[in-house]
Structure 1
């Protein structure tokens, strides 16, 4: 388990989530603006249809057909705008951000599995993880004590020879 990899993958995940949210937010705002404009045009279309009904009562032909045609055209424009805003956002930015997001999640899952296997190995066999940490200092202590005992024995031998 490498904590640098975990941090790097978490940063990548955070950045791609922000990019994806930004792209989707821009798409939603544009769609909302176009839907509001389409609703306004639909309102004008309804107004024109009402105006054409009024002209139908007042006059018989010319003003009625013009207002009805304008109303129908406004409804068609509003319907086209609603269809355009209903499309999902498509673009290389979103595809790239989704791909990086997926790879960061995969890398984090791999790191989590490695951490889990290390933890379960330590729980099931605690000496396997603790033995290298204890063994190296223990060996150095033994080597130092052997060197000291050899040095003490070597210095004791000439002193014993002098007293005889």
Structure 2
């Protein structure tokens, strides 16, 4: 397990979460604005329908039909805006951010599994983790002492032969 990899994956995860949140927030704000505008137009449509009911009682059919037609048109416009505002976000940015988010989570899970296996191995077999740390310097010392003893033996042999 490499701590740099963990930090790199956590940064990627944090950035993609932030990007996803920004995209969803933008979409939600646009949708909310469209719905608010649709609600305003629906209120005007209701007002026109009420006005048309009033004209129906008071005047002739021509004013009534004009107000009723305007009210229906306002409701149709409000319905179209409401449907447009309620669409799910469809963008390559969101797909890319979601993909990177998934790969970051996957990489973090792999790093966590590696850490868990290292920890489990160290707990179950503590000599396996300590052995390389102790064994390499020990082997180095043994090799140096063997070289020194050979050098001393060859010096002693060379000193003994001329006599």
TM range (shorter): 0.7 to 0.9
Structure 1 CA distance, aligned partners of 2:79 and 2:154? Answer: 103
Q: Deviation at 1:2? A: 1.4
Alignment of 1:79 with 2:79, yes or no, is: yes
Deviations 1:42-83 (A, max 9, x none): 000010011111111111311110001100110111111111
Structure 2 CA distance, aligned partners of 1:116 and 1:7? Answer: 17
Structure 1 CA distance, aligned partners of 2:123 and 2:91? Answer: 48
The number of aligned residues is 162
Q: Deviation at 1:96? A: 0.7
Alignment of 1:98 with 2:98, yes or no, is: yes
Structure 1 CA distance, aligned partners of 2:100 and 2:150? Answer: 63
Structure 1 CA distance, aligned partners of 2:156 and 2:76? Answer: 111
Q: Deviation at 1:138? A: 2.7
Structure 2 CA distance, aligned partners of 1:96 and 1:145? Answer: 61
Structure 2 CA distance, aligned partners of 1:145 and 1:99? Answer: 58
User: Normalising to structure 1: TM-score of the pair?
Assistant: 0.87
Structure 2 CA distance, aligned partners of 1:130 and 1:154? Answer: 37
What pairs with 1:19-30 in structure 2 (closer than 5 Å)?
A: 19-30=19-30
Structure 2 CA distance, aligned partners of 1:146 and 1:106? Answer: 50
Q: Deviation at 1:136? A: 2.0
Structure 1 CA distance, aligned partners of 2:141 and 2:110? Answer: 39
Residue 135 (structure 1) aligns with:
135
Residue 47 (structure 1) aligns with:
47
Structure 2 CA distance, aligned partners of 1:42 and 1:143? Answer: 91
How well do the aligned residues superpose, as a CA RMSD in angstroms? 2.3
Helix, strand or coil at the partner of 1:87: coil
- Could you list the runs of 5+ residues in structure 2 that have no partner in the other structure? 158-163
Q: Deviation at 1:3? A: 1.4
